[in-house]
A and B are shown apart, each in its own frame.
Chain A
Amino acid sequence: MTDTTLSTGPASPDSLHTGDAAKARLRARYAAEARFKWLGAGAVALAGFFLLLLLSTIVTKALPAFHQNYVALEVDLSADKIDPADPGAANFLGLVHDGMAGEFPQVSGRQERRLLRGLVSTGAGVMLREAIEADPTMLGGTRRIAVPLDDFADLYLKGLLAKSGPSCRIAGVTVSGAGDEVAVGFPDDAILAMARGAGAVDGEDGGLRLTSGSQSLLLEIAGGTLKITELSTGEAGGAIGKATVLEPLASASDMPDDAMLRTIETAEANRKITDREIVWLDRLAGAGKIENRWNTLFFFTGASREPELAGIWGAVVGSALTMVVTLALSFPIGVAAAIYLEEFATKNRLTNLIEVNINNLAAVPSIVFGLLGLAVFLNWFSLPRSAPLVGGMVLALMTLPTIIIAARAALRAVPPSIREAALGIGASKVQTVFHHVLPLAMPGIMTGTIIGMAQALGETAPLLMIGMVAFIVDIPGGFTDAATVLPVQIFMWADFPEPAFQQKTSAAILILLGFLVIMNAIAVVLRKRFERRW
């Protein structure tokens, strides 16, 4: 009985593969595997998290740039403003400004008028002229025309410049006096606490003063708007104060009236838009004159110093032209070089030296290629500055090592049996390579080309050296026109001080990523077509 158990039961505890020590080894092995698995999964999750973070940040920052606010104005295009015989001679921007002034007839004074004019984009005149050139029947009468708002006005309407605080209704507010400064009276002193909360400072006379460093308290009353500047305790538990008239009141009476108190939490000193402009813009928005449109200007115009007029199309065309040149040069040269080195060249010191140097070239900082382009292509060959032709040539130099290395690896991966098969039935070397080896290596070569082109698309430094950083408003029409490319455009916009360019920068990054995705998608489709079942 015991014998049977011994012979068929578990082996003795000190057996080589079943003993306790063996079990411990096994456990340690499984633990190591589990650890590695979790580490790997963690690495992937972390990478995914950061990618998501990056993308979501860019997308949320970019979204406002895809829309632009327009203001619809009644513009007088009658014959006494625009001469029908010579419409081009008219002052179109002046007409737009007149339309704007027509919306706010009460605005007087040079400074205020200039402020009001500044709400519409300086490009509005050009756009009006182009619209009239496209459709001359617009002339002769007053037309409702939508023009883009200035970038600060646009940003305010998108809620990116100033933060609006809570508003509340106050009954029994009195307004007395006339002119720019009026006196206001409140039935109770709750307003004092609010002013204190808004950052009002104590004045010399014991009252409170609201300076440009504190939040703005705006009082909408009797069809006008007042900005409270001073407050102090009044009679019978009330409060009195002074206010600046931002918008004249329709009926100036001492009778108590209901008022709406608004706060703008961002202090006037800390924002690029004044209280007066905010009141005007809110008035326009309230009257339904503001249109939020899909920003075709951004997608289909060239660069501009004015953020609301700046577009990406010039850079997109520049990038496309540059990529065409890069691909046309680097792909055939790179593949030919790889075929020669891999299939035809005898292996000796010279080819070894060439191979080592090609590998080294792949690691050369890209700006060095830019210097080379500057010295050789511009100064020596006298090719045009800032041109996609030269940019493409420089990037082709940079991309060549990547393509050559990838193509050589792909050619080496083709099994030698295929070469032998072709040679064995009497194919020549060239026939063997072009009929059999190259088609099989094509998917790998395409992958290398995609990587190289993606690198080239995102390259900024070498293009700075050959002048593609120049500020170019026109959309390039050919390979020798001055142009810029997407990454350089992003670089320039990121450098501009206007806050509206922040959104443009993010939007341009999205366009660049989209460009990359489209390029890669085309390459993947092509690769799939070349791929053969083994």
Chain B
Amino acid sequence: MNMLTEAGVEQQLADQGNTPAIKMRGKGVTVHYGDKQALFGVDLDVPEKQVTALIGPSGCGKSTFLRCLNRMNDTIPICRVGGDITLDGEDIYDPKIDVVELRARVGMVFQKPNPFPKSIYENIAYGPRIHGLTKNKAELDAVVESSLRKAALWDEVKDRLQEPGTGLSGGQQQRLCIARAIAVSPEVILMDEPCSALDPIATAKVEELIDELRQNYTIVIVTHSMQQAARVSQRTAMFHLGYLVEEGATDKMFTNPDDKRTQDYITGRFG
């Protein structure tokens, strides 16, 4: 049965006309917070260079799943993760895996913009510097500029790189955080409700940015906004009460979902 489902997913992907490789794959992922179980055997594949949206009502476990993908849950002492999660076929919970290296490959953008209380330049330069990605100041400057350009923030901040990052507006701060994540050249970028603290105009800019970033990065985004999921994602996964209800191509999920719960949630009957 399981095999069949997997084959089905790949078949579906093939049907879309492109056959992206699976970048990350979760199999039977369970998460416990102490005695409370938050995820019940979630199987989800993340295709490369596509945007995968995780939707579902509050407390359904979508953020928990997202945080499993770069082991941010390790920072919570009572949290236990079970099942397999692979990145390019490698088990990321393998004791041999270095979590610092993993997080350099799988970057993260958080719900609330959280720039360091340092200058804009330092915010971007911090990651490349600790990973030793650049050899000299000129290279570092180039990385900062290209990251800010990719995050569509360069033109707004190029004259005030030494000003504190916390002085920017909310939307600019979130794009700064995205630029910061990009600066370490990750393969996957995880975004945990990146627009929930932003106004519609800033949200539009970030969504536009996500669409562009898809060219180079695999993106997993948690969102509460159905419209956002529909706008930016190619694949959507619906979570409910710790279970993965349904996942598939976004177009199909929003027009013809298989599960009634998905339909009810998308049409606003609950959640």
Contacts and interface: CB of A to CB of B under 8 A. Distances in A.
Interface string A398-427: 000000000000000001011111111111
A169 interface: no
Contacts of B131: 426
Given A420-B110, A425-B104, A425-B181, A532 B117 contact: yes
B70 A424 contact: yes
Nearest to A415: B114
B72 interface: yes
Interface in A422-475: 422-428, 431, 435-436, 440
B142 interface: no
Contact of A534 (B100, B109, B166, B183): B166
A349 interface: no
Interface in B160-178: 164, 166-167, 177
Nearest to B183: A425
Given A420-B75, A533-B164, A425 B180 contact: yes
Contacts of B167: 533
Contacts of B70: 424
A532 B102 CA distance: 31
B77 A426 contact: no
B77 A346 contact: yes
Contacts of B127: 425-427
Most B C-beta atoms less than 10 A away, residue of A415, A419, A428: A428
Which 10 pairs, one residue from A and one from B, show the smallest C-beta to C-beta distance? A426-B104, A424-B108, A417-B114, A426-B103, A425-B127, A421-B114, A532-B117, A428-B100, A426-B100, A425-B184
**Chain A interface SS verdict (over half):** helix
Given A425-B180, A425-B184, A436 B110 contact: no
B112 interface: yes
A419 B115 CA distance: 11
Interface of B: 70, 72, 75, 77, 100-104, 107-110, 112, 114-118, 126-127, 130-131, 164, 166-167, 177, 180-181, 183-184
Contacts of B102: 426
Contact of A420 (B72, B115, B130): B72
A534 B117 contact: yes
A42 to B, nearest CB: 41
A13 to B, nearest CB: 47
A423 B114 contact: no
B103 A423 contact: yes
Contacts of B107: 424-426
Contacts of B114: 415, 417-418, 420-421
10 contacts: A418-B116, A425-B103, A425-B181, A426-B101, A428-B130, A431-B130, A435-B126, A436-B116, A533-B117, A534-B117
A421 to B, nearest CB: 4
B155 to A, nearest CB: 23
A424 B130 contact: no
Given A346-B77, A347-B77, A426-B184, A421 B115 contact: yes
A532 B123 CA distance: 14
Contacts of A422: 116, 126
B211 to A, nearest CB: 22
Nearest to A421: B114
B97 to A, nearest CB: 13
Nearest to B127: A425
Contacts of A532: 117-118, 164
A436 B116 CA distance: 8
A420 B104 CA distance: 13
Contacts of B130: 426-428, 431, 435
B177 A421 contact: yes
A427 to B, nearest CB: 6
A427 B117 contact: no
B163 to A, nearest CB: 10
Interface in A484-534: 532-534
Given A418-B114, A425-B104, A427-B130, 12 more contacts: A415-B114, A417-B114, A420-B110, A421-B114, A421-B177, A421-B180, A425-B103, A425-B184, A426-B130, A435-B126, A532-B117, A533-B117
Contacts of A428: 100, 130
Nearest to B117: A532
B231 to A, nearest CB: 25
